[in-house]
A and B are shown apart, each in its own frame.
Chain A
Amino acid sequence: MTALRAWFRDPRPGWWLLLAGAAGAAMTLLCLLGRPPGTLLLPPPSRVLLAFSAPAVALMVWLAPRGDRLERLCAGLVGLGSQAVLASVPDLLAVAVLLVPVGFAVAARPGRRSLSARVRGPALAAALLGLGWALLRSPGPAWLGRLGALGVALGLVAVGGLVPYLQEVEDGEPAETSYLAWTGFLAPALALVLPFRLLQGHLLTPDEGMVVGAVLVGLGALNLAWGAVGAWRTASLAEAWRDSFLVDWGFALIGLGLFERDGLAAAYLAMLAVLGVRTPLALLARTAPAAGTSPRPLALVLVVLLAGAAPFSGFPVRLLVLRAATELAWPLAIPLLMAMALAAAHALRLARALGSPRGRDAIGLAVVLAVSLVLGLVPGILRGLGGI
């Protein structure tokens, strides 16, 4: 304990943050144990996702300046707990309700934008998800069910802060209060459980299923295009990083929307990549110095990673989502191909932003590369672990 304190070596954060951190850790533990039974049930894919989230939190703490580490650890534990709860609560309406306090908890941390500005996205997501779910289950005309299906699909998109529900990005905003908290950390948990919740008990009529699928695929393609072009063309580097998340999310949404085995597997791997690779890289990009004139090979390999090329995490996602799209209707693959080819363009820029990391950053980068390699080379094992 003393060694831990010595490592953190920082003033004690507010008691409520310590408490929240402890609560987050406890919630994570409860969700992992499935206690109380029936109320909290963590599906296998979410367990793997949680296993990928822990290193991301650790990296965030590790990269933080010494003075902020304990605070970051507490915030990370709260995030971990929230992620576990969102993934474990079987009732989607309860999930929607819980999104509200989680959204406020994230928005309440000090930041440049006001609390109300930061909480709008999660609040809208919660409302869309909750109302959509309620309409899906309520008796009434068919259009009401379709409206509910739309609400659920848009709710997922809004939770991730994706197009068309993008939130404002500001340079220098702390990671835990920026878009990263939702797009890169909390939303993947929901994205993985949502299809299972929807498919369990066959709640959706074919009509409603078509609406959910079409909205997810359509918005997935939109996010792909937006992310691929935006990350390449936008002036702000922070926005470029956010847009690069949109590319991963685009693949994931399309995979989810296809309601097909390979598509779900692609979404699962894409979410793991977001948590295990993209988010840590975005965190590293905040601390790494700008690229020098002669980049080191490690930084050059990053371009390959960010472009989604083999042998890194992007390749199996692309293979699976292409397979799913081609099985359903081959023209769906065309926007996917265009986005895959365009990813090569923005990868150069993002990698340059990571520069030539040294010391602590270089070690972190090596770890991320290793994680990405595992995801890229043996996705079968991870699919087995996730039961997909």
Chain B
Amino acid sequence: MEAAAAAGAVLAWLGVSLLSLADARRGLALGLVTTALGLALAAAASGRQPSAAAALAAGGAAGSLLRLRDGEPGWGLMRPGSTPRLVAALLVFLAAVLLVGSGLGVPTGVARLGAIAVALLALLRLLTVERRSPALGSGAALALGLGALGGGTGLMAAAVAAVALGTLSGAEAPGPGR
């Protein structure tokens, strides 16, 4: 179980790192779905309700699919100027380790590690991004990360939030009303 939880946490961190390094629809969708799957795996491994974990994965997947419908086409990975985001991804993982600290010995702690890393990295991305589509993707990841910190209600709420954010259009509005 610990190995599964660790794998899920790492997968989630990789997913959110991919999300934070991507600027186009495919990169965002892939990052989001990876994050959701990783978090769901870690949650399930840490003894949460399997149904809630599955809902989280489904919500994340639905959100990522919906993300594919608009926004900048392509992958848009590692564009010039994304080095700070890469560094941030590493630092955030270390910060999450520091926050979880002694809890790393148990699956719950490992799952929390992944969730915290996802939430922090998604937040950082959300605070620095200017365009709609990456903002929506990061928002969904933030919701997933926060939801993964809680119990069944949190996971379900995160799934709903991810789908709800997926329904919002990622196309840039013209003029001042962007």
Q: Mark B163-178, 1 if CB is under 8 A from A, else 0.
A: 0110111000100111
- The docked-state distance in angstroms from the alpha carbon of A324 to that of B80 is 56
Residues of the A chain whose Cβ atoms lie less than 8 Å from the Cβ of B127: 120, 123-124
Interface flag for A26 (CB, 8 Å): no
Residues of the B chain whose Cβ atoms lie less than 8 Å from the Cβ of A103: 139
Are A127 and B101 in contact (CB-based, < 8 A)? no
Q: Mark A114-152, 1 if CB is under 8 A from B, else 0.
A: 111101100110110011011100111100100100000
Q: How far is the CB of B170 from chain A (nearest CB, A)?
A: 9
Are A91 and B165 in contact (CB-based, < 8 A)? no
Interface flag for A51 (CB, 8 Å): no
- The docked-state distance in angstroms from the alpha carbon of A91 to that of B156 is 12
Q: Give the A interface residue count (CB, 8 A).
A: 40
Q: Pick the contact of B135 from A115, A124, A144 — CB < 8 Å?
A: A115
Residues of the B chain whose Cβ atoms lie less than 8 Å from the Cβ of A127: 119-120, 123, 142, 146
Q: How far is the CB of A92 from chain B (nearest CB, A)?
A: 9
Q: Pick the contact of B157 from A98, A104, A120 — CB < 8 Å?
A: A98
Give the dominant DSSP class at A's interface.
Answer: helix
Q: How far is the CB of A250 from chain B (nearest CB, A)?
A: 26
* Chain B: number of interface residues, binned into ranges: 35 or more
Q: How far is the CB of A360 from chain B (nearest CB, A)?
A: 27
- The docked-state distance in angstroms from the alpha carbon of A267 to that of B134 is 38
| Number of interchain pairs (Cβ within 8 Å) | 128
Are B168 and A108 in contact (CB-based, < 8 A)? yes
Interface flag for B74 (CB, 8 Å): no
Q: How far is the CB of B49 from chain A (nearest CB, A)?
A: 14
Interface flag for A112 (CB, 8 Å): yes
List the B residue with the shortest CB-CB distance to A16.
B167
Contacts of B125-178 to chain A: CB distance below 8 A = 126-127, 129-132, 134-136, 139-140, 142-143, 146-147, 149-151, 153-154, 156-158, 160-161, 164-165, 167-169, 173, 176-178
Interface flag for A366 (CB, 8 Å): no
Q: How far is the CB of B121 from chain A (nearest CB, A)?
A: 11
Q: How far is the CB of A110 from chain B (nearest CB, A)?
A: 4
Interface flag for B4 (CB, 8 Å): no
Interface flag for B50 (CB, 8 Å): no
Query: With contacts A110-B177, A138-B112 known, is A120 near B149, CB below 8 A?
Result: no
- 11 additional A-B residue pairs with CB within 8 Å, beyond A93-B153, A108-B169, A112-B177: A39-B153, A93-B147, A97-B147, A100-B161, A105-B164, A108-B168, A126-B146, A131-B149, A139-B103, A140-B100, A147-B99
A-B pairs with lowest CB-CB distance, top 5: A93-B150, A130-B146, A110-B177, A116-B135, A134-B149
Listed by A's residue number, 26 A-B pairs whose Cβ atoms lie within 8 Å are A16-B167, A93-B147, A93-B154, A94-B147, A94-B154, A97-B146, A97-B158, A100-B139, A101-B160, A101-B164, A104-B139, A104-B165, A104-B168, A114-B130, A123-B142, A126-B146, A130-B149, A131-B149, A135-B99, A138-B100, A138-B109, A140-B101, A140-B103, A141-B101, A144-B99, A147-B99
**Which B positions have Cβ atoms within 8 angstroms of A?**
99-103, 109, 112, 115-116, 119-120, 123, 126-127, 129-132, 134-136, 139-140, 142-143, 146-147, 149-151, 153-154, 156-158, 160-161, 164-165, 167-169, 173, 176-178
